[in-house]
Amino acid sequence: MQADLVAVSDLYFNRGDKVVFSGVNLKLRQGKITALLGPSGTGKTTLLHLLGGQLQPKSGSIQVFGQEVPTLGRKALFKLRSRMGVLFQSGALFTDMSVYDNVAFPLRVNTPLPESMIQDLVLIKLEAVGLRGARDLMPAQLSGGMARRVALARAIALDPELLMYDEPFAGQDPISMGVLVQLVKRLNQALGLTSVIVSHDLKETLSIADYAYILAGGTVIAEGTPAELAASTQENVQQFMGGLPDGPVAFNYPAANFADDLFAKKGINHA
């Protein structure tokens, strides 16, 4: 039986007066790809920050590799993060560094390896994403899909056990998206990774995910395999999976009666 690499229990988190999470429970199975789905503003990226220790929860448990993340000191937290890789939503490449130097950066900063060995590792990672021939290019010379693939090579440079993807497919053309989808799946299998994907691209994400959670209203409203979610009869799940404009998540932001609002501004009693 596969272990849980990440276990989140009864998680509460606020931003000021706004409640982001109110009792979230989820697990990431070792060696599997797990998707975090849900409407915009439901805290999916925030959850990744909590897993990495960049944010502190109001209460609850966040265990990664068996360690309680919110209780870790600075040194222990940095050691934990060395076992994680992150693909940022924007790619976040260093614009004044070449492709080669971007991928080499985490190796130079976090390891005592000689440059000759770093060179071998960089070329291996770039080969894995199909961009070994682009190693001398600058980020400004890359297409959006190429930049995302370089960022992925950098994310796996230190051979992480847990890889977190924040909107990896956003803004990609169909070909680039297809390449990235297959890369995520292939790397997860080849490197024995555990991956968590935050994404709004349902079709692509669910085509490679082993399990998925849908977040809304501060909690997990549904979970299961892609097939189980597709067959769900929950109205809010059907709305999200089908991309319906109205339902439990209303199209209109809460407001006063339209007529009252309209005439009140003109000082007119419409009764």
Q: Measure CA 53 to chain center.
A: 15
| pLDDT single digits (tens) 158-205 | 889 999 998 888 777 788 788 888 888 988 888 888 999 998 888 889
What distance, in Å, lies between the first and last C-alpha atoms of the chain?
68
Q: Confirm whether 177 is domain-assigned.
A: yes
| pLDDT single digits (tens) 184-195 | 898 888 888 899
Q: Confirm whether 269 is domain-assigned.
A: no
Q: Confirm whether 125 is domain-assigned.
A: yes
The CATH number that applies at residue 108 is 3.40.50.300
**How many domains is the chain built from?**
1
Q: Which domain holds residue 62?
A: 4-264
Q: What is the pLDDT of residue 265?
A: 60
Q: Confirm whether 271 is domain-assigned.
A: no
| pLDDT single digits (tens) 76-87 | 998 899 899 888
What value does the mean pLDDT take over residues 21-26?
94
Minimal CA–CA distance to 210: which of 191, 189, 234?
Answer: 189
Query: Within 13 Å and on the Cβ side, how many CA atoms surround 157?
Result: 30
Q: Confirm whether 98 is domain-assigned.
A: yes
Q: Confirm whether 113 is domain-assigned.
A: yes
Whether the full predicted model's pTM is greater than 0.85, yes or no, is no
Strands, DSSP E only, in the chain? Answer: 4-15, 18-29, 33-37, 59-64, 67-68, 84-87, 162-166, 194-198, 211-216, 219-224
Residue 237: pLDDT band with limits 50, 70, 90: confident
Q: Confirm whether 230 is domain-assigned.
A: yes
